[in-house]
Chains A and B, each alone.
Chain A
Amino acid sequence: MTASPAPTDTSAGDAAIRLERLTKTYPGASRPAVDGLDLTIPRGELVALVGPSGCGKTTTLKMINRLIEPTSGTVWVGGVDIRTQPTHELRRGIGYVIQQAGLFPHRTVGDNIATVPRLLGWERGRVNARVDELADLLRLDRGLLRRYPAALSGGQQQRVGVARALAADPPVLLMDEPYSAVDPIVRAQLQDELVRLQHEVHKTIVFVTHDIDEAIKLADRIAILNIGGILEQVDPPAEMLRAPRNDFVADFLGDDRGIKRLSLMTVGDASLSKGPLVAATASADDARATMAELGYDWVAVCDGHDRLQGWIGAAELDGAATVGELTPKPFLSVVTAGTTLKAALDAVVTSRTRVAMAVDDDGRYLGMLTVDDLAEGVTT
């Protein structure tokens, strides 16, 4: 899901956005809000700018579309110094999504989405076709297009905000804490949608957030900023969680770094244990032998096609000739290759047997996951 720690190609040719010695000192401020920031954002990546209040993350973002003018330093977008073109032309080529969505209340949803194409002078038919296309892409009901923003829920408004930013198909998208004003359930949905959307559109996205979990979930690369716009570390989330460069980064990531790493890995990434498993046709003695061999007081049962049926306790085997005579109890939670290790851990600690059984999409047994297996994933 997240890019593996790969060597970063910071050559200008592959960078969609490059910040060079970028500095902003607000009038009357004693210290710079952003101080000599160097950052390269590769094409097609989602980079999250994260940090505490006052770290200059929003200031940095707004210097990219010149809503804030840098005191010194240079911003390159697509290899071009942004000062070399008129501000409004630069901005029409950069999608912009803000916290409260900032939709135009006096325009219908469709007209909101059509904003930049119309500024660019697209002809009517092309604009309308693009608006419909974006509604479908963001899974907005087309009936909403003729309504005013006030009639929409917060989550819908935020989707419209993203659709509006994508309307003219800009290569770069700036998102300024876009989901911080919506409730946690809707936020999680919007985050999932952004992941899906990014798989389809492959934009270069700069995403400002104060929520490290949001950054871990969404970003290909996280840039952690300290007060005064000091860049502490830039790395893919898994790499950063494994090896925070200093105490500030470690503190910011939180004291549950190991658990957070588990959320980035899936059962498919982990090495599974064999587990006590017998076929339904096996004899009771075979089942007892399997339990004794692996040191369990229960055994998992599968049918003739390797499909997991459930489990049987040692005491129940007394008096039975074969396992198939008994009705196996179902496992409460079964994980698949796509399940995150964090969810698998939850399955492990809440199950009576203290293990999670892994199956493939057809329900065939893959192996068993124990706390030891999970710990292996965190430490390697």
Chain B
Amino acid sequence: MSGLGRVLAAEPLVDWSWVGDHTDDIWANFWEHLQLTALAVGIGFVIALAMALIAVRWRAAYGPLAAFCAALYSVPSLALFAILLPFVGLGFDNALIALTGYTLLILLRNIVTGLDGVPPAVREAADGMGYERWRRVLRVDLPLATPGIVAGLRIATVTAIGLVTVTALVGEGGFGRFINDGLSRQFSTPIVLGAVLSVALAIACDVMFVLLERLLVPWARVGAPGDPGRRHLVRWSWHRRTADA
């Protein structure tokens, strides 16, 4: 690392002409980064949602499921890549499986917390109105758990975006490819480029989820008179008639 330190001190931090010559790589790595993140969070969400529904239905299952996810979460990424190596080899599958594993704990916890936050009176009213169980979960429980679910997706996505850079070690990596390249050649420009773009992507995704939540949770900003806690950040209104039948 002392060699790299010397290089970083001697040369300008970013060589803009190099950046200009590599726009194709930037796009390719961007798509790879986005693809790995989206697939990892998407697949992780489906698995975590299924686990959360099981945990809410059979409470006893929550402990073991959460413990499994926590164990997965605690395995160092390098070790996880190595463990997966004999089964899927190097490359996309290895990276995706590892990334997906890391999203599970965050998503499971947030979905269960969100579902637990549904007011018992609302649940009882839904049962009393004659909702079948599955329909209540779909039409009442999950919509009301949306803020918790979106919060989980935000954290999981930002975490995944950071971790994608590490998958450069198994031959993937998105913007992590730039960082890996820069480190091996002791050249600062791609390191800075990879780091900045990765952070920018994380921030962009975070903002997107904030907007998504506002779109999905219109009832949280009703702006009732005498209700100063309500948010007024989005001005347009969103009324819809949900069809139940």
Residues of A participating in the B interface, judged by any CB pair closer than 8 Å: 65, 67, 87-94, 96, 98-108, 110-111, 114-116, 118-122, 146-152, 161, 164, 174
Q: A67-B124, A150-B219 given. 18 additional CB < 8 A pairs?
A: A67-B128, A92-B129, A96-B129, A100-B119, A100-B121, A101-B125, A102-B125, A102-B128, A103-B122, A104-B125, A104-B144, A115-B129, A115-B244, A118-B244, A148-B222, A149-B219, A151-B222, A151-B224
**B219→A99 contact, CB < 8 A:** no
Give the contact stretch, choosing among B32-40, B93-101, B153-161, B235-243: B235-243
A356 CA to B127 CA, complexed, in Å: 52
Interface residues of B in 125-171 (CB under 8 A from A): 125-132, 135, 140, 143-144, 146
Contacts of A151 in B (CB 8 A): 222-225, 227
Q: Which 3 interchain pairs have the tightest Cβ spacing? A: A102-B125, A92-B130, A96-B128
Output the least CB separation between A82 and chain B (Å): 13
Of chain B, the residue at the smallest CB distance from A174 is B128
**A91→B239 contact, CB < 8 A:** no
**A91→B144 contact, CB < 8 A:** no
**B245→A118 contact, CB < 8 A:** yes
**B242→A111 contact, CB < 8 A:** yes
Residues of B participating in the A interface, judged by any CB pair closer than 8 Å: 119, 121-122, 124-132, 135, 140, 143-144, 146, 217-219, 222-225, 227, 230, 239, 241-245
Known: A100-B121, A108-B239, A111-B242. A147 touches B128 (CB 8 A): no
**A111→B241 contact, CB < 8 A:** yes
Of chain A, the residue at the smallest CB distance from B219 is A148
Known: A108-B239, A116-B129, A116-B130. A99 touches B224 (CB 8 A): no
Contacts of B125 in A (CB 8 A): 96, 98, 101-104, 161
A369 CA to B242 CA, complexed, in Å: 59
Known: A91-B128, A92-B130, A115-B129. A105 touches B245 (CB 8 A): no
Contacts of B143 in A (CB 8 A): 106
Output the least CB separation between A153 and chain B (Å): 9
**A65→B224 contact, CB < 8 A:** no
Output the least CB separation between A126 and chain B (Å): 12
